[in-house]
Chain A
Amino acid sequence: MPDLLLDVQGLETQFKTSDGVVHAVNGVSFNLAEGETLGMVGESGCGKSVTMLSLLRLIPSPPGEITAGKAIFFNQDLLKLSNEEIRYVRGAQISMIFQDPMTSLNPVLTIGLQLEEPLMLHLGMNKKQARARAAELLGMVGIPKAADRLGDYPHQFSGGMRQRVMIAMALSCSPQILIADEPTTALDVTIQAQIVELIKRLRDELGMAIIWITHDLGVVAGIAQRVVVMYGGFIIEEAPVNELYANPQHPYTIGLLGSLPRVDETERHRLFSIDGLPPTLYEKPKNCPFAPRCKWAVERCWNENPPFVEIDTGHRLACWVDVKTGRER
C-alpha cells in the first residue's frame, strides 16, 4: 500500500441559515494514497463539493462552519492551519478545478496574467520566468500556439479550451493533490472525452493524486481506481472501482447504477427509478438518511444510522441490510 497522502476523519460541516442549520457534511472519513485517483460520486446537495471546499477551508464563514473532524496532510491538520498557512497549501500543494470554466476565470484579466499569478506567488518566479512557464503550461494542456494566446481574455476561448486553461493553472505549481469538481459536466461529450484523456495523461506524467467529484458514474468508471458514494452528507459506500460496479451493496448505489441507461445496452428495459426525493439536511438524521427511499428498509433503519464498516477487503458500507438476503447483516 503506498503512503497515505491525505487522511480525513469525521469531517462535519454545517451552514447556519435563517431557516435553520443545514447539516451538509455529517462525519465523512476517507483517505487518499499517493498517485491515486479517487472518485467521489453523488447527486446535487449530497455534500461532495462542500467536503472538498472544507478541506481547502474555502467554506464562507459565516454561515458555514467546520464543526468537527481532522484532515491530515503531511503531518499537519488542514482544518487547524491558520489562514496564512492554508494559503500556502491552496494552489501550491492541493489545487482545484471547478465545474464552470467561465465563472472561475476572471473575465477582465488576460489568461496570461491569471496563469502567472500563482507562479509568482507560490514559486517566487519573476515576471519573465512566469511568462515562459505559463506558455509551457498552456502547451502542455494542448492549446495550440500557446505563447501567442497568453494575451487573450477568457471569452476568446471555447468552453473546452477554458477548462484546459483551468487545468494548466491548477497544475502550475505541481500540486500533490488535484481536486477536480465536476470538471466536465458543463462540456459536450466529445470535449469531455478530450479533457478526461488530458487529465489521465497529465496524471501519468506528473504523478499527482486526483479526487474526481462527479454525479456521472460513467466518467468515474473510466478514470478512478477507488470510488466513494455520498448521500445526504454521509459516505455510504466505498470500494475499488471494479468491485463497486460489479458488486454494489448499498441500495442507493444499486439504484443509481440501475437508473442509468447505457449507450451499450442491448435490450430495452424499464429504468429502475429511486422513488422520492433526496433529504433536505435541515436535521441531522438519527436514522439512515436513505431509509425513506429504500425498498429494503427494515425497522432498524428508521431507528439507528448504520456505521460505516468494512465488509470485504477495501469495500466499506453503511447499511444495516444485506441486499442479497433482504435481512439485517
Chain B
Amino acid sequence: MTANNVLLSVDNLVKHFPITRGIIFQKQVAAVHAVDDISFDIHRGETLGLVGESGCGKSTTGRTILQLYRPTAGSVVFDGVDLVALRGEDLRKMRRKMQMIFQDPYASLNPRMTVGEIIGEPLVVHKVAHQKEINERVEHLLELVGLNPAFANRYPHEFSGGQRQRIGVARALSLQPSLIICDEPISALDVSIQAQVVNLLEDLQNQFNLTYLFVAHDLSMVRHISDRVAVMYLGVIVELASRDEVYYHPLHPYTQALLSAVPIPDPVADAKRQRVILQGDVPSPVNPPSGCRFRTRCPIAESMCAETRPEFREIEPGHFVACHFAERFL
C-alpha cells in the first residue's frame, strides 16, 4: 500500500474523560481512560471493522476521529490534514468529508423536522446548494437509499426502524463524504431488517467508493462487511489484521475468546467448537489494570503482563497484535 492510499491515519490517540469533584471549585479526581494510545490507518475505499464489547472505547474512537470529542493526545490525519490542530471554519470544512451514521434511528432524527429537512440540513449548514437544488438532491438521495422520494414531506415517526436508518444513511451521504463512521448502525434493528441495511451500505460503497469505519459489537456482521478488523479491549486495540487473518488466525487471547463466544446459527457446527469462556467482567476504565489491560481475564497471563504493557507490534505483514506471547499462536 502506498502512503497516499491512506485516507485516515490515527496515531497514538488518547481520550480521557475527567471525573471531577466539587461544584464551584472543580478539581479532577480521576479520569475514565476511554481510549488509551491507539494507532491505525484506514485506506481509501476499504471498510475497517472496529469490534469490542460495550465500554471498550470503540464509539469514543469514532467520535474522537470526527473531533466531536477533542482528543487528549495524539493526531488524526485525514486526507493529509491533522484535524486535531484545526479550529472553527477550517474544521467545519473538513467535516464535510466525514459523516456519521448513528446506532439509534429513533434518537438520531429530529422528530420535528420532515425527512426532507433532515436530509437537506447538511447542505444548508455547509451552504453548498440552493433550495431548489436541495430538493432535487433530497429526492435523489431518498431514491438512492431505497425510499420513495415522495416521503420527503413526512416526519420520522411515520417510519419503521429500518426505514429511519435509511434516512440516517441518506443524511450521511448528502455532502458526498469520503469517510463514513458507522457507529453500530444495525444493532437496534431486527434480524431481517439488518440484512437490508447492510446490503444497502455495501451497494453504496461500491457505487461511491466510500470508506467506512464500521463500529460494532456483532462479530459475525463485522466479519461480513469488513476488509480489515481491529479488536478493542478496555481502550486499546489488541489486534488488527485483515478479516480472514483475524477470524482464522487470531493471535491475541482476547480475540480468540471473543470469537469462540459468538454463537453460530448451526447446531452441528456449534457443538463441534472449542469454547474459551472468559472468567469475570471487564475491569473499570477509571482504574485499568497495570501492564496488559487484558491480564486479569487472560488464560495465559504471567507476571510480566502486570509489569510491562505489551507493544502493539506487527508480528506478520499487516497483522498487528499487542500481546507478549503472540508468537505461541503463530
Chain A residues engaging chain B, CB cutoff 8 angstroms: 43-44, 158, 160-161, 188-194, 196-197, 215-219, 221-222, 241-242, 245-246, 255-257, 259-265, 268, 270-275, 277-278
Contacts and interface: CB of A to CB of B under 8 A. Distances in A.
A111 to B, nearest CB: 16
A189 B258 contact: yes
B328 to A, nearest CB: 21
Contact of B281 (A158, A215, A264, A268): A158
B278 interface: yes
Contacts of A43: 190-192
A274 B199 CA distance: 11
Contact of A277 (B160, B271, B279, B281): B160
Interface in B275-311: 275, 277-279, 281-282
B266 interface: yes
Contacts of B202: 270
A245 B281 contact: no
Contact of A264 (B199, B217, B264, B277): B264
Nearest to A221: B267
B22 interface: no
Given A189-B53, A271-B195, A273-B199, 4 more contacts: A189-B219, A259-B192, A260-B191, A263-B259
Interface of B: 53-54, 160, 162, 190-196, 198-199, 202, 217, 219-221, 223-225, 247, 257-271, 275, 277-279, 281-282
A219 B264 CA distance: 7
Contacts of A274: 192, 195-196
B263 A222 contact: yes
Contacts of B196: 273-275
A140 B275 CA distance: 21
B195 A218 contact: no
B148 to A, nearest CB: 14
A260 B53 contact: no
Contacts of A215: 190-191
A158 to B, nearest CB: 5
Nearest to A264: B264
Contacts of B268: 242, 245-246
B278 A194 contact: yes
Contact of A218 (B259, B262, B271, B278): B262
A190 B264 CA distance: 14
A196 to B, nearest CB: 8
A115 B74 CA distance: 49
Contacts of B198: 261, 271
B265 A221 contact: yes
A264 B192 contact: no
- Return the 6 tightest CB-CB contacts between A and B, nearest first: A218-B263, A261-B224, A259-B195, A193-B261, A188-B53, A273-B195
Contacts of B217: 188-189
A43 B191 CA distance: 7
Q: Which of B191, B260, B282 has the most CB atoms of chain A within a 10 A radius of its CB?
A: B191
Contacts of A161: 281
Given A190-B278, A265-B223, A277 B258 contact: no
